[in-house]
Amino acid sequence: MVKTEIKKLSSSKRELKVTLPKGKVDEIREDQAKKIRKEAQVPGFRKGKAPLGMVKKRYASLIEAYSLEKAVEKSLELASEQENLEILGTPEAKEVNFDDDGNLVSQIEFETYPEIELKKYKGIELIRDKYVITDQLVENNIQQLLKERAEISSSDGPVAEGNLVKVDMQELDESGVPVVGRKYEDVEFKVGEGRFDKEIELQLVGAKKGETKRVEKVYPEDFPQKEFAGKKELYDITVKEISIETLPELNDEFVQELGDESLKTVEDLKKRIRENLERRYEDESEARLEDDLIQTLLSENEFDVPKAMVDNYLNSLVRNAKIQFPDAREEDLRKAYQANAETMVKWYYFMEKVAEAENIEVTDEEIDKLLEETVVKEEDRKKIKENPNQMLRIKDDLFYEKVKNFLLEQAEIKENEIVLD
């Protein structure tokens, strides 16, 4: 039996003050002295045969150090059993002293499962972006598809708007002297498209292959970036290559050559592109809404989580990232994923608390229904059911969706229409 005092430092951190009786401390000292005696090499005695009293005197400081370590461990063990403590990670002994009666008093900090007080999780305000896919956006995507399959042929004529060019550029100062370190080679762009700089691009019209042309770019006085406002840039641009881009004709034959048997006509293609865009932007909208849900609820219901659990989750994120980015430094990956790891661990415990408060759980019937909807063959469903890890993942996924959907149903969601063209 030990005397304990437990102080709450945060939602997941506790301070334990535990007093181990002198008699128990003396037992530990005696046990440690006997263990050291077995290995002690004392002159005049065979190994392990020296008198215990001599060993205690000769190795007093070592015995005391080992005894204190074991006594603190025993204090924590007994307190944990007595108070049903759930300890995560490695506890830290902040202070260890003997009181006037020879009892060992240890002050230990440890992490435990977070204690969450639900404050606000209903009626939060969120915004869902609703994207409108215009005919122009569909047309832009079709033009991009045509460009990807365009025929590129070399041209001997002068540069014309719409030509593809490859150039070398040398920036000059105001007096026309080349600026060191400001030479750019093999720059490629389509003249007049504006992806590089439309004002500079169009000044090349009429230039021939191999010709060097001096062009200038003047920024207006009210240019948003103050460092460029009113500034003039000079370049000597040498045209290295001129090419003509010939787009294929958009017709049913072109569509059928794309290799998708379900597409027969131009209208089929337009419909497919629209559906893909709608799906893509809807997914983006839902992902952003979910992220806003998480951030809003965690800010409304603040609590901390054990570092040990964040580290475990972070380790798994880093392991997966190393597979995807084998050349990345682990230190950089840990910094990149640290905030996400902490957020997701908090979100997991928050959802559990909401599920407990609202009696949300995943039933076997719901799991069976999901398997029937997503797994065609009965033998495949049977294999999944016989795999505990797969079943646990399915249950976790269903749990996440149920709690998330419940929280979204309780939220006040306003739609923000965004027209994409």
Q: Are residues 7 and 67 in the same domain?
A: yes
pLDDT for residue 219:
87
**For residue 241, what are the contacts with CB-CB under 8 A and spacing of at least 6?**
154, 164, 165, 166, 209
287 and 405 share one domain? yes
Q: Residue 417 burial (CB < 10 Å; 0-12/13-18/19+)?
A: exposed
244 phi and psi, to 5 degrees? -110, 130
Is the Cβ–Cβ distance between 216 and 202 less than 8 Å?
Answer: no
In a domain, 352, yes or no: no
Does any domain span residue 72?
A: yes
3-state secondary structure of 209: coil
Enclosing H/E stretch for 212: strand 212-218
Mean per-residue pLDDT for 84-95? 91
Amino acid occupying residue 348: Y
Give me the pLDDT at residue 218, please: 87
Do 24 and 83 belong to one domain? yes
The residue-averaged pLDDT of 346-373 equals: 93
**Residue labelled with tokens 């992902």:** 287
- In 3-state terms the chain splits into helix, strand, coil percentages (rounded to 5) of 45, 25, 30
Are residue 102 and residue 208 in the same domain, yes or no?
no
229, 370: one domain: no
Q: What is the pTM of this model?
A: 0.77
Q: Which of 33-47, 95-109, 330-344, 387-401 has the lowest mean pLDDT?
A: 33-47
Judge if 274 and 416 occupy the same domain.
Answer: yes
227 and 274 fall within a common domain: no
Is 318 part of a structural domain of the chain? no
CA distances from residue 349 to 12, 114, 122, 361, 372 in whole angstroms, order as listed: 11, 8, 17, 14, 30
Report the percentage of the chain scoring pLDDT > 90: 74
* Predicted local distance difference test score (pLDDT) of residue 230: 83
Q: In whole angstroms, what is the distance from residue 268 CA to residue 272 CA?
A: 6
Please tell me the distance from the alpha carbon of residue 105 to that of residue 3, in angstroms, as a whole number.
9
Same domain (yes/no): 271, 166: no
Tell me, rounded to whole angstroms, the distance of Cα 186 from its chain centroid: 36
pLDDT for the residue 89: 87
**Sequence-ordered alpha helix ranges (H) in 40-97:** 52-58, 60-83
Q: Which of 111, 141, 173 finishes a domain? A: 111
Question: Average pLDDT in the 205-220 region?
Answer: 93
pLDDT(48) > 80: no
pLDDT class of 33 with cuts at 50, 70, 90: confident
* Confidence class for position 223, pLDDT limits 50, 70, 90: confident
- Assess contact for 84 and 30: CB atoms under 8 A: no
User: Average pLDDT for residues 210-215, to the nearest whole number?
Assistant: 94
**Is 162 found in the same domain as 55?**
no
The answer to whether residue 174 is domain-embedded is yes
Q: What was the pLDDT predicted at 140?
A: 94
pLDDT of the residue at 53: 83
Q: How many independent structural domains does the chain possess?
A: 3
Q: Which of 202, 217, 246 is the last residue of a domain?
A: 246
Query: Residue 51: pLDDT band by 50, 70, 90 thresholds?
Result: confident
* Average pLDDT score over residue span 147-154: 94
254 vs 229: which has the higher pLDDT: 254
What lies within 8 Å, CB to CB, of 174 at 6+ separation is 232, 234
What the block records as the tokens of 225 is 């970036």
Task: Provide the terminal-to-terminal Cα distance of the chain, rounded to the nearest Å.
Answer: 74
> Rounded to 10 degrees, what is the CA torsion of 400, 402, 403, 404?
80
Q: Are residues 285 and 211 in the same domain?
A: no
Domain shared by 228 and 274, yes or no: no
Report the percent of the chain where pLDDT is more than 70.
Answer: 100
Amino acid 75: pLDDT: 92
* pLDDT top residue among 168 and 38: 168
Confidence (pLDDT) at 63 = 86
Sign, CA dihedral 185-186-192-196, equals negative
What pLDDT shows up at residue 228? 81
**pLDDT at residue 128 in the model:** 96
Question: What local confidence, expressed as pLDDT, does residue 291 receive?
Answer: 96
Q: Is the pLDDT of residue 154 over 80?
A: yes
| Neighbour order of strands in the sheet with 13-20 | 3-8, 13-20, 104-111, 88-98
Q: Note whether residue 105 is domain-resident.
A: yes
Whether 310 shows a pLDDT value over 80: the answer reads yes
Report yes or no on 317 lying in a domain.
Answer: no
So what's the pLDDT on residue 241? 95
Is 126 a member of any domain? no
DSSP state of 31: H
Kindly report each contact of residues 153-157 with a partner whose C-beta sits within 8 Å and lies 24 or more positions away, as own/partner.
Answer: 153/243, 153/244, 153/246, 154/241, 154/242, 154/243, 154/244, 155/242, 155/243, 155/244, 156/209, 156/242, 157/208, 157/242
CATH number at residue 185: 3.10.50.40
Alpha-carbon gap, residue 209 to 166, rounded angstroms: 10
Q: What is the mean pLDDT of the chain?
A: 92
Q: Is residue 215 domain-resident?
A: yes
The confidence band for 56, taking pLDDT boundaries of 50, 70 and 90, is confident
Provide the domain limits for residue 299: 266-303+360-420
Question: Which parts of 213-363 fold into alpha helices (H)?
Answer: 252-256, 266-300, 307-324, 330-358
Asked whether residue 221 falls in the same domain as residue 184, the answer is yes
pLDDT band at 221 (very low <50, low <70, confident <90, very high): confident
Which range among 31-40, 44-53, 109-118, 184-193 shows the weakest confidence by mean pLDDT? 44-53
User: Which of 111, 135, 161 represents a domain boundary (last residue)?
Assistant: 111
Strands 13-20 and 3-8: antiparallel
Q: What is the DSSP letter of 66?
A: H
CATH number at residue 54: 3.30.70.1050
pLDDT at residue 210 tops 80: yes
